[in-house]
């Protein structure tokens, strides 16, 4: 990836020191580590991101913090749960009506 422009650089020993720096910063949305012992911390929107072509070697791996996406994931799971509940309730209601119809037909149909 070609990294966004809004970065803060921190000097660290290795990538394992970069990860906790981002996790301890509530506004950190992503981080990247390059071989020159620099940890780049990104806050806010990730602007001007570009995926490089297969032949280009100047890119850096960008680690995106998913904790900022959790409210979105929770709402998607809630929507799925509501859909499943609606389908189960609808199917149970349809089966009840069908069973009641056949029972009525059997009981009252003989007369």
pLDDT of residue 89: 93
Q: What are the tens digits of pLDDT across the range 2-49?
A: 666 677 888 888 888 888 888 888 888 888 887 777 888 888 777 777
pLDDT of residue 41: 87
Q: What are the tens digits of pLDDT across the range 71-82?
A: 555 555 667 777
By CB neighbour count within 10 A (0-12 exposed, 13-18 middle, 19+ buried), where does 30 fall? Answer: buried
- Given a contact cutoff of 8 angstroms between Cβ atoms, the answer to whether 62 and 1 are in contact is yes
Of 27-41, 54-68, 91-105, least confident by mean pLDDT is 54-68
More confident residue, 54 or 18: 18
Query: Has residue 68 got a pLDDT over 60?
Result: no
Using CA atoms, how far apart are residues 29 and 21, in angstroms rounded to an integer? 11
pLDDT of residue 71: 56
Query: Has residue 86 got a pLDDT over 80?
Result: yes
pLDDT of residue 99: 92
pLDDT band, residue 95 (cuts 50/70/90): very high
């Amino acid at each position: 990836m070609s990294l966004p422009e809004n970065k803060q650089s921190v000097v660290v020993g290795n990538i394992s020191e970069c990860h906790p720096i981002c996790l301890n910063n509530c506004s950190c949305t992503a981080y990247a580590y390059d071989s020159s012992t620099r940890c780049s911390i990104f806050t806010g929107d990730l602007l001007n991101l570009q995926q490089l072509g297969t032949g280009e070697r100047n890119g850096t791996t960008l680690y995106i913090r998913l904790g900022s996406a959790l409210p979105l994931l929770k709402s998607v799971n809630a929507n799925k749960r509501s859909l499943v509940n609606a389908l189960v309730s609808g199917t149970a209601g349809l089966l009840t009506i069908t069973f009641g119809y056949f029972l009525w037909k059997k009981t009252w149909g003989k007369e």
